[in-house]
A and B are shown apart, each in its own frame.
Chain A
Amino acid sequence: MSRLVENPTKAAGGTAKARVSPRRRRPGQRHRRPWLGLLYLAPGLVVYAVVVLVPAVQGAWLSLFHWDGVTQATWAGFENYTNFFRDPTLRQAVTHTLYFILFFSVLPIALGLLSAALSARRQVRGGGVFRALVFLPQMLTPAVVAVVWKRIYAPDGPINDALRAVGLGQLAHGWLGEYTWALPALGIAGTWGAFGLCTVLFTSGMQAIPGELYDAVRVDGGGAVREFFTVTLPGLRGSMSVVLTLTVLAAIRVFDIVWLTTKGGPGISTITPTIVLYQRAFANPDVGAAASIGIILAVVSLLATMVIVKLSEDKS
């Protein structure tokens, strides 16, 4: 419809031909459209440029220097990047990110699909309350979440108390202080945080799937499992791409909960690239190295997003 509005002469002329093939408009008119659109976009674009693009470019530029944040920087070329791949601490941090993708993305998606499938298409008593409760973590400040989990995992915290109460005292651990347990413990906190988001998005996605499709499966003699795999899952493609993007990016960016609980410890057993970035930027001022980590994370995030979008595109 917009074509008609933006091209009043032809619309007024009303020839069917002009409407069908707008590509043949005269050259002078062809340029008007994008510029007008840009004008409408300008306020947003300017803000985006100032707040996102310019700092991003500055960050990329800084990553090519050795700089303490104050004195004259020295040109480093791609040294900060080669150091990134050589640094054993960062290598470990990257493996932790992969690990966190499991806990921040894969697990919550699986759980979210399950709980949405169980509750979305029928009236479950208390379903709304359940969704509100599991969504709650999304509304809490990360700092609060970190403090709560630190308490939960404390040697005299609720988890260990519960284990002892049921006679499993030998399973009690100093969760965040042990090399084996600290990373999965923080991961589970992440799963808890993302689970509600996944549930709510999948539930709304499922409710948008037409009921006839389910009826068709029923007619073909399919049960609940087949319903899920032939109708629900394909129908959730859009929600899935949103959820995957959000949770994978969250996993790549994990910072608050680690910084506020273990600071990457014990040793470096929970360190993440963002923790190293923060340390380099503000504790041992090496701004170039910090910027290179940021740029690599940004590029990886962009690639991850593009892959997810590509995979979830409707090919039909």
Chain B
Amino acid sequence: MPRRRLSVTAGVAALPIAALLALSACTPGASGGSTSQATAGPVTTDPAKLGTVQLQVLDYFTGGADDAWMKAVVNAFHAKYPNITINRTSLSWGDVMQALPLKLKSNNPPDIVPANNGWQSLGTLVQGGLVLNLDSAAQAYGWRDKVPTSILQEHEFSTDGKQMGTGAVFGMPVARSSMIEVYYNRNLLRQLGLSVPTTYSAFTDALAKAKAAQLTPIALGNVEQVGITEPLYSVMNALGQQQKISDLIYSQGNVSIADQATGFPQAISTMKDWADKGYFTKQFGAVAGQDAAQQFVDGKALFHFDYSGSLPLKPGQSGNFGSFVLPRSDGGAPVATTSSATNFSVSSKSKHADAAAAFLNFAASPDAAQLAVNLGVAPLLDPSLKADGKDPLFADDVNNAGQISSKNSSVPYLDWATPTLLTTIQTKVQDLLAGKTSAQDVVSAAKTDDDSFKAKLAK
């Protein structure tokens, strides 16, 4: 018997080797295509003239207000241009990120895809030539005039895919924002005898006063490593310079993450300082993000940093809350980490590039922003919009988004700077807040990460 088993084992071992030899002719990614080509010919900007078109759209708006808004936009577009039918496929964020390169390489990819900004997704797809250069559409529709530069930049890459935040448009924002704001509890603020902070020092004073009054100043849960990034980015925006932060994230102008001008070193020290002073939820390192948000909604904390529209509010609960963008220490216009709720890019294999561009244009239009406001989700790109005022929290959200659009004061997410930076920062900051490493070490670990990625880009 042992002899026989041996021969079976040998057979099993031989099989992969044989297959390996057969495979060795092909290199992964070889069929990925050349670097990006421009859209061919002039763009037809009147969708009615495009004939009958079926557009396949992939998105990650699987439920709730996200899905409702997307449905409303699709319906409005189809009502306006009945010749264009849109078939949506919605997958969870994780599923989209896992499957997107494969989908785009298939023979029949979706026409419009939600490639995430930054190097993890969109940048790599640009390098692989899988998404379309939309410059001619941008010109035909006037996107560069209509969309604030600091937002449109988030969708730009050089055509060789080596630079981000400059060059050609490879995707479009939609008229819905995803920005990091500070939420506050109106009653608690009043109890403390304070008004909404309009300066950075007024904000830190409020933290100290809340702590002295034995309130939790900031509801924070960091067990999943995510929660800390929201106050971290906000403080960075308050202490650094907008231009330097953008340059850092876009790997332009030789800005180092260790430079004070980016606000990053000070923001890291501030997190440590706030944690030491007990400004965050007790034992925040063991608290789930959702539990912290719930703690805030339950009225047990004064402030909470989070994305617009992501508080777990029940209908009618929002009256006691408001939101603002953390004021800057130098008194300038508040800067918020903001992007559109999704980036939409067009597959380079799409046979309906013009129709796809028409839909992108519509999803970024004031009409689409109005649909967002109607549905109670934060709009983007149209600063003139106002909420009807019945919901004071939503009115604040709309104002904040409008302010960012009109002042052109958004910065991209820091984690777009390198594919690994988010993991590096999250793990190191946990070490810092647990007293296992110094703020200096966190900054130098982030710098090593950023520098090695830039060196790779330059190759």
Interface residues of A (CB under 8 A from B): 53-54, 56-58, 60-62, 65, 67-73, 75, 150, 153-155, 173-179, 261-268, 279, 282-287
Contacts and interface: CB of A to CB of B under 8 A. Distances in A.
Contact of A154 (B16, B222, B287): B287
Nearest to B433: A266
Contacts of A71: 29, 32, 124, 127-128
B139 interface: no
A150 B427 contact: no
Contacts of A178: 285-286, 434
Contacts of A75: 27
Contacts of A284: 120, 419-420, 423
Contacts of B29: 67-73
Given A70-B130, A177-B287, 9 more contacts: A58-B23, A67-B29, A70-B124, A70-B128, A71-B124, A72-B27, A264-B427, A284-B120, A284-B420
A148 B309 CA distance: 26
Nearest to A69: B101
B223 A262 contact: yes
B269 interface: no
A61 B20 contact: yes
Nearest to B283: A174
B286 A65 contact: no
A54 to B, nearest CB: 7
B288 interface: yes
Interface string B428-450: 10110010100000000000000
Contacts of A154: 286-288, 291
A5 B225 CA distance: 65
Contact of B431 (A262, A267, A286): A267
Nearest to B281: A155
Interface in B260-291: 282-288, 291
Contact of A57 (B20, B101, B226, B427): B20
Contact of B120 (A62, A177, A283): A283
Nearest to A150: B288
Nearest to A287: B28
B434 A179 contact: yes
Contacts of B426: 263, 265
B40 interface: no
A77 B423 CA distance: 27
A65 B98 CA distance: 19
B97 interface: yes
B458 interface: no
Contacts of B419: 283-286
B6 interface: no
Given A265-B430, A267-B427, A153 B27 contact: no
A155 B436 contact: no
Contacts of A155: 282-283, 286-287
Tell me the dominant secondary structure on chain B's binding face. helix
B224 A61 contact: no
A285 B120 contact: yes
Contacts of A177: 222-223, 283-287
Contacts of A57: 16, 19-20, 23
B10 interface: no
28 contacts: A57-B20, A60-B16, A65-B28, A67-B29, A68-B124, A68-B127, A70-B29, A70-B130, A71-B29, A73-B29, A73-B30, A153-B286, A154-B291, A173-B286, A174-B286, A176-B223, A178-B286, A179-B436, A262-B224, A264-B427, A266-B434, A267-B436, A282-B97, A283-B419, A283-B422, A284-B120, A284-B423, A285-B120
A268 B224 CA distance: 12
Contacts of A65: 27-28
B285 A266 contact: yes
A263 B225 contact: yes
Contacts of B124: 68-71, 285
Contacts of B428: 267
Q: Which of B94, B101, B224 has the most CB of A within 10 A?
A: B224
Contacts of A283: 120, 419-420, 422-423
Contact of B30 (A72, A174, A266): A72
A57 B14 CA distance: 11
Contacts of A62: 28
A261 B221 CA distance: 12
Contacts of A261: 223-224
Interface string B222-234: 1111100000000
Q: Which of A60, A61, A68, A175 has the most CB of B within 10 A?
A: A68
Nearest to B9: A306
Nearest to A147: B288
Q: Which of A61, A62, A75 has the most CB of B within 10 A?
A: A61
Nearest to B453: A284
Contact of A279 (B15, B127, B423): B423
B222 A70 contact: no
B125 interface: yes
Contact of A70 (B15, B127, B285, B423): B127
Contact of A263 (B19, B24, B28, B224): B224
Contacts of A266: 225, 285, 430-431, 434
B28 A67 contact: yes
A175 to B, nearest CB: 6
B442 to A, nearest CB: 11
